[in-house]
Chain A
Amino acid sequence: MSRLVTNIYIKDKVAVVSAGMTKFTRRAVESTKELAWEAVNRALEDANMEIRDIECIVSGSAPDAFDGIHMKGESYSSSIGGSYKPHVRVYTGGGTGVMVPVAGWWHVASGLCDTVLLVAEEKMSPAQPHPQYVFKHIWDPITEKPLEPNLIWIFALEMRRYMYKYNVKKEDIALVSVKNKKNALDHPSAQVAEKITVEDVLNSEVLVWPVNRLDVSPVSDGAVALILAREKVAKTITDTPVWLEGIGFTLEDSMWINRELAYPLYVEAAARMAYKMAGIERPWKEIDFAEPYDPFDYKELQHAEALMLFNKGEAYKATKEGITERDGDLPLSPSGGLLGVGNPIAAAGLMKVAELYYQLSGRAGKRQVKKPVHTGVAQAWGDLLEAGTVVVMKN
């Protein structure tokens, strides 16, 4: 029977039934294919399934230039069990990791696939001399590329604008890095988990002011896999399915310089779509915890505001007051986020969705949020300060 989910009727709910991931690391010895397979294998084992039980595959990986492989999705297809199955690679830059479950949702909800394997992988380390060089080629070829902009420089512009508009101090932003790196100490896949202080962040190397090295997530290699199933199938796989209740995605135009950099309106638009679908009207009250995208510390604050969990420019206050700690009223990035677990771009986004699954199925171990949790939101961001991807999950 069809069921009304706010604005749409679906035949079956879509469940996450398992997750698996590799360790995130700076220079993995495993190839891209091996990393992806390792994550897939763990997700299959977690669900006690075999690859033949999977009907469709949705994958994500950011620029092909990291690996130097054209049609990257085709290159790892057979290593993730994609042979003889429909396999699509979706792409929204840094937002890809959360776009993967978004697309996975309609593979199931359309009735075309009973089970869908989601895979996000990234191996940044093959890019020489540094993965940042790949970002030299992301700009508009006519209007921007001749200026030879640097990605960190753009983030510095955005961070400065955020600080200026909302009168946020750098030491308040640094608290996010301190919190997330500490949270990551409990994550088995973490790359840069550590106990640091605000002073450590402020005294770390200045990359482009106001961005210091410890404001930034690391370069990483890694892969994450999840398995989706339609309601009836999910109940045969696990007793603790977690429901994918809302999806949202939005891309702004590519003219990033034309918009207010202090507030990512495109993330808010994606969140509104996901909340509407999940029947959430007051996210600040109804969301129990969140995994906002945190490639830089200020971005966790900015994204938490765009997810409407805090008023504009006020997320730092909640961080200062401990509200966003794992034992706080509204935990943010209990996984440790990209700042602590690492940032293999597409895989980092799906890691955040995996954390929703672990938390909502009560399997997060030492990372388990103290208060009872029933609803979580994960979000990723990407492209030329333009992509927002959001999922809402409930148990």
Chain B
Amino acid sequence: MRVGIIGIGWLGPYKEANFHFQEFIFKTAQKSYESSGLDPRKDIDGFISCQEDFWEGVSISDEFAPDPLGGARRPTFTVAGDLMQGLAEGYMMIRSNLFNAVAIEAHSLVSDIRSLDSITLAAFDPQYREIFKGKVDALAAMDMNRFMNERRLSRGEIDELLVLQKRKGIKSSIGIHSLNLSKRDLENEKYSFYPLKEIDKAPFSDFAINVVLAKEDLAKKHEEVIWIDDLWYTSHGNAIDTAEYGKAFYIERAFKKLRNKVKDLSEYYIEVDDRYSYKLLQHLEAIGFEPRRAIEDIINDNIKVNECGGLLSSGQSLEATSGLEVLNAFLQLTHKAGQCQVKGLSKAIVVTWRGLPSFTGGIILLSGE
């Protein structure tokens, strides 16, 4: 049985949204349900919220999931994870024949958080917190250093890609952190931890997304359907002491599971998590691209990757970050990506990651008709 995306609603990204969290979720859900043509009180069978207590500032934050989603006294639950994991749950609920339609939401009101670094640090194993206190990004810098060293990549090559991605976002309606940069501009950019510069990290954005999934026969009645052909993800938790550095091993493992479904990557529009600039290449490598060749192919427009500027341009949005990627892929496949629209591709591969210190990441294969 196939599972289709028949509705998608989003608000943002914003540098600072002027919403209460329930209002943010509600307004996003309204847009999503309207686009799906389904009545949440009658036609949607299950509701999933993707959130974490500490981001919300509420203990047992799932209590507040049903009201703004239309899920009160209905099958509703929370995934303490990102939108990708929520989509996986919804996908399985429909594939198991339990439900006909499921709505999944994720949101980020990161601008409300006063102590973002401290909360991120609290995700580290307590014995490593002292080491990374005030320097969470140092872990990314170490990973970047090893990746660049082993692949013989120069800082200049990373800069070239960074400039390109930041510029691409200018054409996008969601590229709120896009910049008209030159490589020369980057020469004076401050290093946060060598070789990572502050500008290598995608800024944070407020963003909310709601996706409605439906089973095949219901989805086929809908004018606009994007099919989830398959998905898989893997995790290594926050085990920074046993993780493999210099490569996106969590994506390699996930892709291994889906490899036989992807015959030719050139047929795909590609959206990868690039919340650190080097991750763009590292995640591409994990799905089979040689990094230096990938740089050339991106520059020469031979492969279509993060054409709206990726997370470097839209920002990262806590558990909704993978939602930004799904949104970009959805807009491409429905030919609604505006000035960054790519022509001639009807399939997309979305590569997601939860961000440090997590090693949870996944792949979603999408296709239009």
Interfacial residues, chain A to chain B (CB-CB below 8 A): 8-10, 62-65, 68-79, 82-93, 99, 102-103, 105-107, 109-112, 134-135, 137-138, 140-141, 247-255, 265-266, 269-270, 273, 382-384, 386-387
Given the known inter-chain contacts A8-B98, A251-B74, please indicate yes or no for A83 contacting B60, CB distance below 8 A: no
Is A69 within 8 A of B360, CB to CB?
Answer: no
Give every chain A residue within 8 A of B237 (Cβ-Cβ). 73-79, 82-83, 87
Is A71 within 8 A of B71, CB to CB?
Answer: no
Given the known inter-chain contacts A134-B59, A266-B73, please indicate yes or no for A64 contacting B53, CB distance below 8 A: yes
Is B232 within 8 A of A252, CB to CB?
Answer: no
Given the known inter-chain contacts A74-B357, A93-B63, please indicate yes or no for A64 contacting B97, CB distance below 8 A: no
The interface centre, meaning the residue of A112, A248, A270 with most chain B CB atoms within 10 A of its CB, is: A112
User: Does B210 reach chain A (CB closer than 8 Å)?
Assistant: no
CB closest residue in chain A, given B230: A112
Is B67 within 8 A of A65, CB to CB?
Answer: no
Give every chain B residue within 8 A of A383 (Cβ-Cβ). 60, 62-63
Is B123 within 8 A of A74, CB to CB?
Answer: yes
Give B91 Cβ to nearest chain A Cβ, in Å.
Answer: 7
Give every chain B residue within 8 A of A386 (Cβ-Cβ). 63, 66
Complex Cα distance, B63 from A135, in Å, reads 12
User: Does B341 reach chain A (CB closer than 8 Å)?
Assistant: no
Further contacts, 10 of them, CB under 8 A, given A77-B238, A250-B75: A63-B60, A64-B52, A70-B54, A71-B52, A90-B80, A110-B95, A137-B57, A251-B73, A253-B67, A382-B60
Give every chain A residue within 8 A of B60 (Cβ-Cβ). 62-63, 91, 93, 138, 382-383
A-B contact pairs, 20 of them (CB 8 A): A64-B53, A70-B122, A71-B358, A74-B237, A83-B242, A86-B232, A86-B234, A88-B81, A88-B85, A106-B95, A107-B92, A110-B91, A134-B59, A138-B60, A251-B76, A265-B73, A269-B73, A273-B75, A383-B62, A384-B63
User: Does B299 reach chain A (CB closer than 8 Å)?
Assistant: no
Give every chain B residue within 8 A of A91 (Cβ-Cβ). 60, 62, 77-80
Is B93 within 8 A of A84, CB to CB?
Answer: no
Give B304 Cβ to nearest chain A Cβ, in Å.
Answer: 28
Complex Cα distance, B242 from A111, in Å, reads 31
CB closest residue in chain A, given B253: A84
Given the known inter-chain contacts A254-B67, A386-B63, please indicate yes or no for A88 contacting B77, CB distance below 8 A: no
Give every chain A residue within 8 A of B233 (Cβ-Cβ). 86
Is B123 within 8 A of A71, CB to CB?
Answer: yes
Give every chain B residue within 8 A of A64 (Cβ-Cβ). 52-54, 59
Complex Cα distance, B74 from A99, in Å, reads 14
Give A19 Cβ to nearest chain B Cβ, in Å.
Answer: 22
Give A106 Cβ to nearest chain B Cβ, in Å.
Answer: 4
Contacting residue for A78 out of B65, B88, B123, B242, CB 8 A:
B242
The 6 A-B residue pairs with the shortest CB-CB distance, nearest first, are: A77-B237, A109-B96, A253-B72, A110-B92, A110-B95, A70-B122
Give every chain A residue within 8 A of B360 (Cβ-Cβ). 74, 77, 87
Complex Cα distance, B88 from A269, in Å, reads 25
CB closest residue in chain A, given B78: A91
Is B236 within 8 A of A78, CB to CB?
Answer: yes
Complex Cα distance, B66 from A395, in Å, reads 34
Interfacial residues, chain B to chain A (CB-CB below 8 A): 52-54, 57-60, 62-67, 71-81, 85, 88-89, 91-93, 95-98, 119-120, 122-123, 125-126, 232-239, 242, 249-250, 253, 354, 357-358, 360, 362
Complex Cα distance, B62 from A106, in Å, reads 20
Is A87 within 8 A of B57, CB to CB?
Answer: no
Complex Cα distance, B72 from A265, in Å, reads 12
Give B57 Cβ to nearest chain A Cβ, in Å.
Answer: 7
Complex Cα distance, B53 from A63, in Å, reads 7
Complex Cα distance, B362 from A92, in Å, reads 24
Is B97 within 8 A of A10, CB to CB?
Answer: yes
Complex Cα distance, B81 from A64, in Å, reads 13
Complex Cα distance, B232 from A112, in Å, reads 9
The interface centre, meaning the residue of B64, B73, B354 with most chain A CB atoms within 10 A of its CB, is: B73
Complex Cα distance, B65 from A252, in Å, reads 10
Complex Cα distance, B45 from A248, in Å, reads 12
Complex Cα distance, B330 from A14, in Å, reads 34
Complex Cα distance, B119 from A266, in Å, reads 33
Complex Cα distance, B238 from A73, in Å, reads 9
Complex Cα distance, B98 from A248, in Å, reads 10
The interface centre, meaning the residue of A68, A73, A134 with most chain B CB atoms within 10 A of its CB, is: A73
CB closest residue in chain A, given B234: A84
CB closest residue in chain B, given A63: B59
Complex Cα distance, B54 from A74, in Å, reads 14
Is A84 within 8 A of B96, CB to CB?
Answer: no
Is B59 within 8 A of A138, CB to CB?
Answer: yes
Give every chain B residue within 8 A of A87 (Cβ-Cβ). 235, 237, 360
Complex Cα distance, B153 from A208, in Å, reads 66
Complex Cα distance, B360 from A386, in Å, reads 30
Is B54 within 8 A of A77, CB to CB?
Answer: no
Give every chain A residue within 8 A of B59 (Cβ-Cβ). 63-65, 134-135, 137-138
Given the known inter-chain contacts A254-B63, A383-B62, please indicate yes or no for A99 contacting B77, CB distance below 8 A: yes
Complex Cα distance, B202 from A301, in Å, reads 53
Give every chain B residue within 8 A of A8 (Cβ-Cβ). 96-98
CB closest residue in chain B, given A78: B239
Complex Cα distance, B121 from A71, in Å, reads 10
Is B73 within 8 A of A73, CB to CB?
Answer: no
